[in-house]
Amino acid sequence: MTGFVILAGCSGKNSQKISSNNGFAVLPAVMPNEAVATFAGGCFWAMQESMLQLKGVNTVVSGYAGGTTSNPTYDEVLTKTTGHAEAVQVYYDPSTITFEQLVTAFFYAHDPTELNRQGPDIGSDYRSIAFFRSSEELKTISKVMHQLELKSIYNGSFVTAMEPFEVFYPAEINHQDYYEKNPWDPYIRSVSKPKVLHVRDNLRSLIKPSYPGN
């Protein structure tokens, strides 16, 4: 994210609770009826809100994945030397929303044809990655990518990497639910909000009833 300004505010839609420890978010325990998915698609402020608005999604944590540095900080990831991308970890109920539907929402929540960037944010830390935890998830990601490329919802070919999941490091607590808490931030209004609305407008049947416009 470039040139952001922190302005307090809260829309009241988000009911998730994320604990903190030494300034960083704490990953929640996975409940018996939950599954976990991890995606990187540019600024995690927009991706977190895009995923959190989906039915069956219980918690979404912003963080870092795909790199080599253990427990990186936001400032370290910004240097492009840790190998990490800004990412989100999604805790969801697979009886309500499928992994395939999550993957579809992921591709609507960012532009998967942009290599090592998303709009004004440039660098490998903004690259597009769909992480998989099984061969079936890999097949699903590949299938959805192919289907959406055929639909030509974006100009150009998808450049999203498909990588086996290894580890996810939660980001600082001030980056959690940033979209909801800072609705008047110029970056949120001009860059993040269009991404969130793109998911909401195109996948309306997957949006929680509590979100406006559904």
Active site residues: 43
Rounded Cα gap, residues 88 and 190, in angstroms: 21
Could you tell me if 206 and 101 are in contact, meaning their C-beta atoms sit under 8 angstroms apart? yes
Of 194, 172, 178, 51, residue with least CA distance to 119: 194
For every residue of 11-27, which 3-state class applies, written as one string?
Answer: CCCCCCCCCEECCEECC
| CB-based contacts of 2, cutoff 8 Å, min separation 6 | 120, 121, 187
Distances (CA, A) of 76 to 18, 84, 125, 168: 22, 9, 10, 15
Q: Taking the mean position of all CA atoms in its chain, how far away is CA 101?
A: 14
Which one-letter amino acid corresponds to residue 203?
A: L
